[in-house]
């Protein structure tokens, strides 16, 4: 049979098409095979059921088998998990701008919550404007110094509540949470949100508690975004209701403040976050903050700033109660720096930097019990090459700082509570030392870490200096198991019995 020119052209085209197809298939294969290692998943559901409620612990246990960079499929959500200091350094130093957005849980899109504040916003001009505003006007070193009196008031109240128990058993985690909640209320709205005079304060507290509880729950709609409209677990509906209750109260505060401003109230050094938000004049580049976003930004501070601070303080107390030699060292340092006479028994913020051992206790606590163990999930904005792996756009990125804090490659005796490891060491938690990242790192590092550092130290120093503490049921009864909510909390709340230290009582107090 004769081969014509037309046949040859046809064969050439078929060859070309097949070659292109093969190339595409092989490229796709090499691309997918360049994914990080990870446990095999179920069809459709992937690894959704493998992680359990303590996903940070499960992921940490997978490190030995799969290494420090793991690939998971959670329903239809691709997920990259980073769990060593070296991989975290790679991520934050070289890929911060490849993963600058957040993966937003569906329930937290209720009332467009995710668009008002910093934590869930995309890396947008609005986020940059807000972050600048917070760093300059609300959480700057000067502003934190200026608000020392608010912290003093909240800590004094905490001491009064403890004393009101008359040496009985105290649920210290609960009291710490209420104190932190009121501290945020003072910084943000200039009011004790929870005071006996305010009924709406209790309504707000209750609604925010429910919002936080819901915010920490897993939701099917996050793993299969096509289910979002159906909201099969009803989480968004519940969130709309609870956040709606909290919003109605904050909306009233905001409207009152707008009226006050109209009637000539001047903003001065005493300004709170609401003033900062409403006073953002705005220009073509950075428009003013609309009222609905300001409400969400206010709510965010209660979300981000209260339980994180209080549960970290509760973990520190629990660790100290289990480690009497560390407790003795803290107390000896407090006696030396603060003094033992009743007239000088109050801890001043200016003294906190001298408390080197207490600072080491806080670092050691946050190494073992970071309040946000997987950080807030980031999201890939484009296809990226990460440590030789192909990471497609829209991949969720988790950084297991809980696992990194317990990684034998970075720490000697990683599970032992040994604050001494930080004495004379330059390791800090400001996002530069990748083995210790309780506040995250990079552009999205916690905006409140200086405030949190100051508050935790002040509260611990005050409580440990004024009282001797015993665990109700003895030191061996302290249960260190974890529970995951919006933060990593103690499963069993810490119950303690305080005794006011006699040598620090004034003569009048001692007579009572
Ligand atoms: C012990 C206390 C705290 C801990 C452990 C903590 C931890 C964190 C972590 C891990 C992140 C995510 C960082 C990342 O993804 O790289 C974060 C973000 C954030 N934190 Fe904190 N935090 C604490 C206290 C506070 C306080 C007191 C405030 C404010 C009053 C605050 C406000 C925020 C905000 C607004 C963000 C979002 C930042 C952004 O995405 O740009 N936090 N925090």
Check residue 29 and give its pLDDT: 46
% of the chain surpassing 90 pLDDT: 76
Check residue 24 and give its pLDDT: 47
Check residue 2 and give its pLDDT: 44
What band does 249 get if pLDDT is binned at 50, 70 and 90?
Answer: very high
Please calculate the CA angle 119-49-375 and round it to the nearest 5 degrees: 20
Residue 46 CB–ligand 1 contact under 6 Å: no
Residue 178 CB–ligand 1 contact under 6 Å: no
Check residue 485 and give its pLDDT: 81
Examine the pLDDT at 120 and tell me if it is beyond 90: yes
Smallest Cα–Cα separation from 69: which of 82, 86, 53, 56?
82
499 Cα to the center of ligand 1, angstroms: 33
439 Cα to the center of ligand 1, angstroms: 6
DSSP code for 134: I
Contacts for 139 with CB less than 8 Å, ≥ 6 apart: 447, 448, 450, 451
Contacts for 459 with CB less than 8 Å, ≥ 6 apart: 155, 158, 176, 179, 313
Convert the pLDDT of each residue in 51-89 to its tens digit.
999 999 999 999 999 999 999 999 999 999 999 999 999
Contacts for 107 with CB less than 8 Å, ≥ 6 apart: 214, 215, 217, 219, 235, 236, 238, 239
Check residue 380 and give its pLDDT: 98
Examine the pLDDT at 96 and tell me if it is beyond 50: yes
Secondary element (H or E) of residue 403: helix 401-405
Tokens of 415: 């599970």
Averaged confidence pLDDT in the chain: 90
Check residue 261 and give its pLDDT: 82
Check residue 512 and give its pLDDT: 44
Tokens of 501: 């230290």
- Give the number of the atom of ligand 1 that is nearest the alpha carbon of residue 300: 35
Task: Name the most confidently modeled range: 202-211, 254-263, 278-287, 388-397.
Answer: 388-397
Specify the residue with its C-alpha closest to ligand 1, atom 24. Answer: 305
Residue 355 CB–ligand 1 contact under 6 Å: no
DSSP letters, 431-490, are SSSTT--TT--GGGS-TTHHHHHHHHHHHHHHHHHHEEEEETT-GGG----EEESSSEEE
What band does 267 get if pLDDT is binned at 50, 70 and 90?
Answer: low
State the average pLDDT over residues 124-145: 93
- Higher pLDDT: 35 or 503? It is 35
State the average pLDDT over residues 175-187: 94
* DSSP helix/strand/coil, 174: helix
State the average pLDDT over residues 112-137: 95
Check residue 15 and give its pLDDT: 45
- Domains of the chain (ranges plus CATH)? 55-511 (1.10.630.10)
Examine the pLDDT at 491 and tell me if it is beyond 70: yes
367 Cα to the center of ligand 1, angstroms: 15
Range scoring the smallest mean pLDDT among 156-170, 236-250, 258-272, 366-380: 258-272
Convert the pLDDT of each residue in 415-441 to its tens digit.
999 999 999 999 999 999 999 999 999
State the average pLDDT over residues 215-223: 91
Tokens of 277: 């938000």
Q: Which residues of 400-422 are buried (b: 16+ CB within 10 A; e: fewer)?
A: bbbbbbbbeebbeebeebbbebb
449 Cα to the center of ligand 1, angstroms: 7
- Cα separation, 34 vs 29, in Å, equals 8
503 Cα to the center of ligand 1, angstroms: 38
Q: Cα dist. 27→19, 20, 30, 143, 509 in Å? A: 12, 10, 5, 54, 78
- Cα separation, 323 vs 504, in Å, equals 23
Burial of 308 (0-12, 13-18, 19+ CB in 10 A): buried
Q: Are 258 and 220 in contact (CB under 8 A)?
A: no
Examine the pLDDT at 369 and tell me if it is beyond 70: yes
Residue 36 CB–ligand 1 contact under 6 Å: no
Examine the pLDDT at 449 and tell me if it is beyond 50: yes
What band does 13 get if pLDDT is binned at 50, 70 and 90?
Answer: low
């Amino acid at each position: 049979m004769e081969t014509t020119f037309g046949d040859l052209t046809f064969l050439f085209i078929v060859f070309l098409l097949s070659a292109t197809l093969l190339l595409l298939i092989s490229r796709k294969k090499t691309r997918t095979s360049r994914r990080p290692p990870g446990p095999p998943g179920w069809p459709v559901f992937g690894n959704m059921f493998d992680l359990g409620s303590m996903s940070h612990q499960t992921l940490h246990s997978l490190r030995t088998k799969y290494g420090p960079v793991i690939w998971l499929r959670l329903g239809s959500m691709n997920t990259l998990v980073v769990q060593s200091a070296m991989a975290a350094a790679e991520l934050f130093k070289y890929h911060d701008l490849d993963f600058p957005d957040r993966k937003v849980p569906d329930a937290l899109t209720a009332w467009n919550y995710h668009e008002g504040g910093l934590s869930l916003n995309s890396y947008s001009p609005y986020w940059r404007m807000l972050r600048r505003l917070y760093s300059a006007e609300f959480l700057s070193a000067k502003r934190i110094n200026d608000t020392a009196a608010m912290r003093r008031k909240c800590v004094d109240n905490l001491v009064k509540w403890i004393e009101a128990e008359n040496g009985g058993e105290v649920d210290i985690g609960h009291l710490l949470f209420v104190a932190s909640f009121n501290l945020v209320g003072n910084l943000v709205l200039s009011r004790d949100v929870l005071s006996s005079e305010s009924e709406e304060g209790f309504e707000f507290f209750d609604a925010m508690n429910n919002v936080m509880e819901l915010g920490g729950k897993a939701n099917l709609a996050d793993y299969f975004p096509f289910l979002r409209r159906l909201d099969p677990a009803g989480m968004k509906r519940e969130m709309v209701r609870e956040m709606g209750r909290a919003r109605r109260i904050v909306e009233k505060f905001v409207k009152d403040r707008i009226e006050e401003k109209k009637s000539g109230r001047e903003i001065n050094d005493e300004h709170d976050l609401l003033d900062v938000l409403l006073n953002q004049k705005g220009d073509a580049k950075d428009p003013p903050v609309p009222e609905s976003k300001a409400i969400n930004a206010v709510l965010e501070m209660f979300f981000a700033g209260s339980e994180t601070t209080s549960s970290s303080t509760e973990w520190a107390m629990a660790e100290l109660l289990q480690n009497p030699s560390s407790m003795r060292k803290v107390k000896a340092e407090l006696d030396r720096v603060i003094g033992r006479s009743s007239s000088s028994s109050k801890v001043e913020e200016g003294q906190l930097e001298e408390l080197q051992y207490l600072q080491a206790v806080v670092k050691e606590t946050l190494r073992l019990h970071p309040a946000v163990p997987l950080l807030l999930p980031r999201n890939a904005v484009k296809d990226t090459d990460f440590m030789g792996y192909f990471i497609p756009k829209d991949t969720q990125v988790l950084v297991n700082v809980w696992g990194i804090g317990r990684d034998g490659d970075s720490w000697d005796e990683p599970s032992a509570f040994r604050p001494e490891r930080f004495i004379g060491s330059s390791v800090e938690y400001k996002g530069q030392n990748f083995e210790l990242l309780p506040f995250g790192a990079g552009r999205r590092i916690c905006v409140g870490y200086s405030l949190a550092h100051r508050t935790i130290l002040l509260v611990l120093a005050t409580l440990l200096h004024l009282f001797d503490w015993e665990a109700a049921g003895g030191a061996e009864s302290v249960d260190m198991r974890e529970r995951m909510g919006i933060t990593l909390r103690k499963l069993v709340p810490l119950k303690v019995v305080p005794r006011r230290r006699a040598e620090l009582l004034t003569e009048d107090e001692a007579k009572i």
